[in-house]
Structure 1
Amino acid sequence: MVAFSTIFAGLLLSASGLASPLGTNTIEPDGRKFGNILCHIPIVQNFLCPRASNNKLLTVSTPIGTAQGVSTIQGVRRFPVKYASAARWAESSVVTSWSLPNGASNPSAQPLFCPQADAEPSEYSEDCLSMIIHAPDRIINKGASNAPVMVWIHGGSFLSGSATGPGLDASQLAEATGSVVAVIQYRLGALGFMSPSGSTNLAVRDVMNSLKFLQKVAASFGGNANKITVVGQSSGAHMIRALLAAPSASSLFQSAILQSDPMDFGFMSQAGQRELQTFFNEQISCASSNSNCLQGLTVEAILSAQDDLFWEASYLVPLAGQFEPIRPVRDGSLINTSLDSTTPFAKVSKPILISTVNKEAAPTIYGNFDFEITTDGFPSYGQVVGATFGDPRTSQIIDSQYYQVAENEDARAAIERMGTDYLWKCSGWTMARNWVKNGGTAYVGLYTLGSTYPANAGVSVCSEAGNVCHQDDIQIVFGTAPNPTTAQSNLIKEVQARYAAFLNTGNPNASGLPVWTKATTADVHALLLGGSGEAPVGACDPAFWGSAVQYDYQYYA
């Protein structure tokens, strides 16, 4: 039996393109190539792409040198910068002087991506530990350092993504929230997690170093180094979960926002990581002690070995699944708690905000099954669920009130709900309850309105009214939705107002908006974002997912 996350999330990869090791999907992992094409069309450039306007060169004095940036059309300055350096498979270190990414001389240039299989070699570099800082003129000109700082961590299954993905221009977000916003990059895949020596979590340490860098320079841009909030989507949110589980990262930020974190995936175990590492080392054919061989490997060879590992991981280690098999490891040193239901939960204190969208799994199911699935067809509903969950979970799921399918009824809707619930929604609600139970404050939200992300453009169900697919919350948060409807514009204003409040106080309630009740152990009070009221509990009843039916991190523990 293979974990449901193996087949289900593997389908997700090919449908929504969250990660494509072979680079063969027509829909790219973060919509980047599609977005890059649109970036050359002036009418949409301002919506999807980081601002290319450099009508005025601007400088800011920082403790480590002069920052060079450009002014955007929103009256926000944009400063690309290299925040850390790292040799291959070595821990990164924070830079001591200000420099533009990749040796650039023009501050309007964008940083190269971290190496990833779907990109051309000319698009990436191992020297990729860069960020783009967005700071409103009105904040910089105050001469005070009181504004909150938001750090965006991109998704992409830890295999793809960048600080320059579609919709990630933070100019409007910075202005609307009155904050300094940094969009960061970190090492991906094998280069970030699979050092042949066995050391891991290099990418987690990269992100920690980005926060240390911001603590040094935030005041120069009007930001308060003591008011840093980390925000991430998908694997970017999973990265934040790793930061929350790392005691040495605690002092680097005050609060966290986790969007669409597939919390069914716990951290990788040490034993599982050793299995994956052994396989990876076999693919690169270099002894872990042979530094000349390791340094002589081409990036393309490393990505090829990473690709082999990706497809074999779930068979080697069922806990790995196929969505994020290369991911943060509970190594007992940097990350020493699971932050899930398999071990005693750590005492916590930071405020967190957890959100999901109402059709997280739609790209997976409808993007791969272009035919109806019924109770007596082939494959049948029972076969699809059984092949992924096995016994006893299959019978517990399909016999429950939540996922029953009538004879001759198309079961894809039930399977989509199942995937959304267990991979994202209900596992997130379980996390919120645990967080509150152990001393923290949590707020939970569910998007019922979004803006179709480029990666979802080829999945028709994602453009249907009322359907919000994985990633469709990104352009709402950033305010980069192209040609927004009145409802989308209102939601953008609401979300950004709530984020502004959360960045400052750890509470997302803002004047003139409905009360967002904080989660309790009995009721997470999931606020409908784009709707009204709270989401019904449904299958997220703690007696069902995580209890009667185990999450993968429990089942394979």
Structure 2
Amino acid sequence: MDTFTFFFFVALLIFPSLALPQRPVIVRPNDPKKILCQLPILKQFLCPISGSTGTNRPTVLGTARGTVDSSGAYRFPVKYASAPRWGPSSLVTAWDLPNGSANVSALPLACPQPGVDPSAYSEDCLSMVIYVPPGLASNSAAPTLVWIHGGSFIIGSATGPGLDGSKLAIATNSIVAVVQYRLGTLGFMAPSGQTNLAVKDLVNSLQFLKNVVPAFGGSASKITLAGQSSGANMIRAILAVPSASSLFRSAILQSDPMNFGFLSTTTHNTLLSNYIGQLGCSASNSACLNALSLSTILSTEMTLFNNAYDLDPAAGRNQPIRPVMDGSFITTPLDSTAAFPSVNKPILVTSVSHEAGFAIYGSFTDPLPEEAFPPICDATFGSERTSTVVNSPNYTPIPSVDGSIDARSQLQVVGTDYLWKCSGWTFARTWVQNGGTAYVGQFVVGATYPGNEAVSYCTQPGVVCHQDDIQIVFGTAASPTSAQSALTTEIQKRYKAFLANNNPNVAGVATWTPATPTDVHPILLGGSGEATVGACVPSFWGSSVQYDYQIYNQ
């Protein structure tokens, strides 16, 4: 039950180019405002956009060129930063299409990752795709949603299945930016010892958006981060970066596996030392490091990924390459292992009803007898935690319709609780205790994410596996059922309200009660009422049974 790696596919879609010429600005010497308009630092604040068309937008970095997609939104692919191999990224100084392309319809290549044809990725991958709803006036001060993709920190891209932001932008009347960042060891294991390069990439992406969204009708002060799985984990890392706080005002964390926590510097250095040894280059030999092929880097990365738990159990088996609590950039673990900081940003924290379904039923393809439950738990939790879990009334055997017992059903509930659901609720309660606002939800309707159909359990009626919330949020489910369409409409209404007002409540849908330090009020998204609490009480997970970060990072 300890392995889940979800592979995203890069979609390279071709759309028609509709770039139009820019109309020049005429400045009269006796018009002080127009003279000031020529200063880039003032232009976005004082001046109307001149020569702007839907697919041709003057920005402080030059003309943004885009295209119209099939949903009617305007789409602008753009490179936001550059970076040398294993070096910090720096913001671009001019508007450029990704990968040196001259085709405004071409989407960015992914960042290097295993399991993908090399022609589909490039190290020059710090790009994003910006979606703008039609009719958004230059003075609209619209909000922006920045989506950070998941993929266990080693795979994924801005062009993954279901991540077309067009319908979401139109439904929420907001700008949607889907962002890429360096993955795997290229983003987290710099031989020099520099940490969190990928997190710093995302901070640069936020600075880029703060600079350019006014040109598209957006407000630089209304930026919300949103992401799923390791993308949500990246958001939690950014929440722990004081220097990034002014770049966004709220966050949406979907299916964040909060149980793991950030890596400690000790664990990170153990993994890094092993990785450098495998590469065969000294940490100071830049010529050797730069000469390494991407195939060598990626194959060595996967060896590290698979062996990390044996090198240091604190790394875990699921996403051992992840953000580091380095104490200088990321200054707090945002968990119970250190004093929690004072916070004030509103957040949404959601999970899905069967988060662990793909991992459990994908790993164990045949039913398991009840006696298999304790030893499988022991392999994950160790004897002390296993004893408490096995004896808990929350994880008693669940008979099937014919009365037989399949331990996979218990394992699925345990996995969902400790990796996602209960650890997310613990985080929400702590967030509220320290001054923030949190809304907690659970998706009970989903749309099977591409790849999840490989596990038949995830296609059963009423089952919502990890990632099955993505296409609901984006409105990209193929041939949606009435229940899926209804939830997409609801969640997009709620996100529109949250982006605009920091509150997901809106007329026509049930009241979403904010969490308190003692009751998170977890609304059922796609159902009615609140989710069953079960073991997600303060006295069980995080107390009687500690999370991994409590075991390893004290």
Using structure 1 for the length normalisation, give the TM-score.
0.91
Deviation at 1:367, TM superposition (A): 1.2
The whole-number CA distance in structure 2 between the counterparts of 1:143 and 1:524 is 39
Question: Does the CA contact (< 8 Å) of 1:69 and 1:108 recur in 2?
Answer: yes
2:63 alignment partner in structure 1? 66
Aligned equivalent of 1:85, options 82, 86, 95: 82
The secondary structure found in structure 1 opposite 2:545 is coil
The secondary structure found in structure 2 opposite 1:402 is helix
Deviation at 1:111, TM superposition (A): 0.6
The secondary structure found in structure 2 opposite 1:192 is helix
Deviation at 1:51, TM superposition (A): 5.9
CA-to-aligned-CA distance 1:195-232 (integer Å, 9 cap, x gap): 00111100000000000000110001111110000000
Aligned equivalent of 1:173, options 147, 168, 172: 168
Counterpart amino acid of residue 481 in structure 1: A
2:32 alignment partner in structure 1? none
Question: Does the CA contact (< 8 Å) of 2:17 and 2:66 recur in 1?
Answer: no
Counterpart amino acid of residue 88 in structure 2: E
The whole-number CA distance in structure 2 between the counterparts of 1:214 and 1:430 is 32
Question: Does the CA contact (< 8 Å) of 1:375 and 1:409 recur in 2?
Answer: yes
1:386 alignment partner in structure 2? 378
Aligned equivalent of 1:149, options 144, 158, 168: 144
Matched, 1:399 2:391: yes
Aligned equivalent of 1:9, options 2, 19, 28: 2
Deviation at 1:158, TM superposition (A): 0.4
Deviation at 1:359, TM superposition (A): 0.3
Counterpart amino acid of residue 385 in structure 1: C
Deviation at 1:344, TM superposition (A): 1.1
Question: Does the CA contact (< 8 Å) of 2:2 and 2:380 recur in 1?
Answer: no
Counterpart amino acid of residue 461 in structure 2: A
The secondary structure found in structure 1 opposite 2:93 is coil
2:16 alignment partner in structure 1? 54
Distance 1:182 1:406, change over 3 A: closer
The secondary structure found in structure 2 opposite 1:359 is coil
Matched, 1:515 2:508: no
Counterpart amino acid of residue 325 in structure 2: R
Deviates more, 1:68-77 or 1:471-480: 68-77
CA-to-aligned-CA distance 1:384-414 (integer Å, 9 cap, x gap): 1122211211110010001122796211111
The whole-number CA distance in structure 2 between the counterparts of 1:53 and 1:492 is 25
Any unmatched runs of 5+ in structure 2?
A: 20-54
CA-to-aligned-CA distance 1:30-63 (integer Å, 9 cap, x gap): 2x16xx5xxxxxxxxxxxxx76332633211101
The whole-number CA distance in structure 2 between the counterparts of 1:105 and 1:537 is 53
The secondary structure found in structure 2 opposite 1:198 is coil
1:22 alignment partner in structure 2? none
Any unmatched runs of 5+ in structure 1?
A: 1-7, 19-28, 37-49
Counterpart amino acid of residue 2 in structure 2: A
1:23 alignment partner in structure 2? none
Question: Does the CA contact (< 8 Å) of 1:113 and 1:162 recur in 2?
Answer: yes
2:38 alignment partner in structure 1? none
CA-to-aligned-CA distance 1:395-451 (integer Å, 9 cap, x gap): 100100011227962111110000000000000000000000000000000000000
Q: How many residues align?
A: 514
The secondary structure found in structure 1 opposite 2:16 is coil
The whole-number CA distance in structure 2 between the counterparts of 1:265 and 1:390 is 15
1:469 alignment partner in structure 2? 465
Question: Does the CA contact (< 8 Å) of 1:129 and 1:186 recur in 2?
Answer: yes
Question: Does the CA contact (< 8 Å) of 1:155 and 1:161 recur in 2?
Answer: yes
1:341 alignment partner in structure 2? 336
The whole-number CA distance in structure 1 between the counterparts of 2:307 and 2:362 is 23
The whole-number CA distance in structure 2 between the counterparts of 1:293 and 1:265 is 34
The whole-number CA distance in structure 1 between the counterparts of 2:298 and 2:231 is 20
The whole-number CA distance in structure 1 between the counterparts of 2:460 and 2:139 is 46
Counterpart amino acid of residue 222 in structure 2: K
Deviation at 1:145, TM superposition (A): 4.2
The whole-number CA distance in structure 2 between the counterparts of 1:535 and 1:383 is 29
1:306 alignment partner in structure 2? 301
Matched, 1:330 2:322: no
The whole-number CA distance in structure 1 between the counterparts of 2:72 and 2:429 is 41
Counterpart amino acid of residue 516 in structure 1: W
The whole-number CA distance in structure 1 between the counterparts of 2:398 and 2:530 is 28
Rg: which structure is higher?
Answer: 2
Matched, 1:192 2:184: no
Deviation at 1:372, TM superposition (A): 1.6
Question: Does the CA contact (< 8 Å) of 2:240 and 2:330 recur in 1?
Answer: yes
The secondary structure found in structure 2 opposite 1:240 is helix
The whole-number CA distance in structure 1 between the counterparts of 2:398 and 2:515 is 35
Aligned equivalent of 2:153, options 154, 158, 174: 158
Question: Does the CA contact (< 8 Å) of 1:51 and 1:72 recur in 2?
Answer: no
Matched, 1:410 2:399: no
Deviates more, 1:364-373 or 1:502-511: 364-373
The whole-number CA distance in structure 2 between the counterparts of 1:335 and 1:9 is 27
- Equivalence map 1:416-427=2 (5 Å): 416-427=412-423
CA-to-aligned-CA distance 1:284-317 (integer Å, 9 cap, x gap): 1111111111111111111111111101111111
- Equivalence map 1:488-507=2 (5 Å): 488-507=484-503
Q: Greater relative contact order: 1 or 2 (C-alpha under 8 angstroms, separation 6 or more)?
A: 1
Question: Does the CA contact (< 8 Å) of 1:313 and 1:325 recur in 2?
Answer: yes
Deviates more, 1:405-414 or 1:268-277: 405-414
Question: Does the CA contact (< 8 Å) of 1:51 and 1:169 recur in 2?
Answer: no
Question: Does the CA contact (< 8 Å) of 1:266 and 1:553 recur in 2?
Answer: yes
